[in-house]
Amino acid sequence: MANKKAIKRIAISTGGGDAPGLNAVIRAAALSGLKRGWEVYGIRDGFHGILLPEQYEEGGFIRLTRDRVHGIAHLGGTILGTSNRNNPMAYPIELPDGTIEEVDRTDEIVRALRLHHVDALISVGGDGSLAISDALSKKGLRVVHVPKTIDNDLDKTDATFGFDTAVGFATESIDRLHSTAASHGRVMVVEVMGRYAGWIALHSGVAGSADAILIPEIPYDIRKVAQKIKARDQMGRHYVIVVVAEGAKPAGGSAMVVEHQKGKDERLGGIGEQVAKEIRAITEKETRVVVLGHLLRGGSPTSLDRLRALRFGAAAVRALDEGYDGVMVALAYPTVKYVPIVEAMGQMKHVPVDSDTIMTARDMGITFADASTE
């Protein structure tokens, strides 16, 4: 884990889906590196800038100066670009017969970075990028990983940047839907991102006073949602807000996958429409679906996410300066710690079903539509 070799040049890569706060990480890491006298470079679009440099007019490997990272901390997206396609560990190559074969191109990345005289890499990304960081580290490249996901599902860190921004936007959207749902006496089904964890759905649903929240950690029974709708009708409240995580699944069923191709992350979706269809069939209530989708990824990061990202970026440089290698920076309030990448891999941080937030929701009368007694 320790590597005291002197650093002269580092590179930064942002991979996977975008998240509010990426530019703040880049700014903090660049300024922290420049302060130490290091040269700082950015790799375009994940690792595409290394593997496909000919696609970029100015090259896929760009110098990050103070001017280049000036005034970017508040911006959404990433100035380097990102990609959740063409995983270099399973890179899709089309063969002469038209079939697709997946090949490992991580050796090419290591060779290219050495040709660029890069002493260390700061890789920013989610679980897929974490696995790539581990592979590169095992091949001799000095790597520090920064965890990134709006889903808040990465293990070994208290929180990830982008999550607070996503929850804030989802909550505001739910707030707006209350009035239109009440005006028309409708059921509004709100589908949010989160993959196989229900953090965004849970937090925004509780904060936004939803009536039902469906999350992957608690397989649902649609009849429980229908019971909630009928109970509200009997109280004279003829509208209902149902928040559904994209990875939610019925009891005995599985999550809905809309795309799974070689070299790409599995894409979930469609559960909102399915839940709405079943609600209409049982209750005969007018039902509408709102899929927030990529709106949760965009926009300026909140001050909390911005601060988390800045702390992560600076901590990644400190880790390198202190001789660390093969670690992930992780939030452990009130500090940032360094966790071996191998310890952070392979485990998803799910919502504990006995958590205080779940209990708070139940005490407030929010249903999770589980088969157990509520």
| Residue 127 annotated as catalytic | no
- Strand runs (DSSP E) across the chain, as ranges? 9-14, 39-43, 61-63, 91-94, 100-103, 120-125, 143-147, 187-192, 212-214, 240-245, 257-259, 267-268, 287-291, 327-332, 335-340
Name the catalytic one among 45, 119, 127, 151: 151
- Both 183 and 324 in one domain: the answer is no
What's the gap between Cα 172 and its chain centre?
19
- Both 204 and 157 in one domain: the answer is no
Structure token pair of residue 1: 């884990």
Does residue 101 fall inside a structural domain? Answer: yes
355 and 147 in contact (C-beta within 8 Å)? no
- Both 185 and 293 in one domain: the answer is yes
- Both 70 and 112 in one domain: the answer is yes
- Both 175 and 101 in one domain: the answer is no
Check which CATH number belongs to the domain holding 196 and give it: 3.40.50.460
Q: Give 67-122 pLDDT, tens digit per residue.
A: 999 999 999 999 999 988 778 999 888 888 888 899 999 999 999 999 999 999 99
Q: Give residue 224's identity as a one-letter amino acid code.
A: K
pTM here? 0.93
Domain range for 205 is 164-297+352-363
Nearest to 276 by CA among 268, 267, 285: 285
Q: Give 243-301 pLDDT, tens digit per residue.
A: 999 999 999 888 888 765 555 567 788 999 999 999 999 999 999 999 999 999 999 99
How far is it, in rounded angstroms, from Cα 339 to Cα 342? Answer: 8
What's the gap between Cα 212 and its chain centre?
23
Does residue 128 fall inside a structural domain? Answer: yes
- The number of distinct structural domains making up the chain is 2
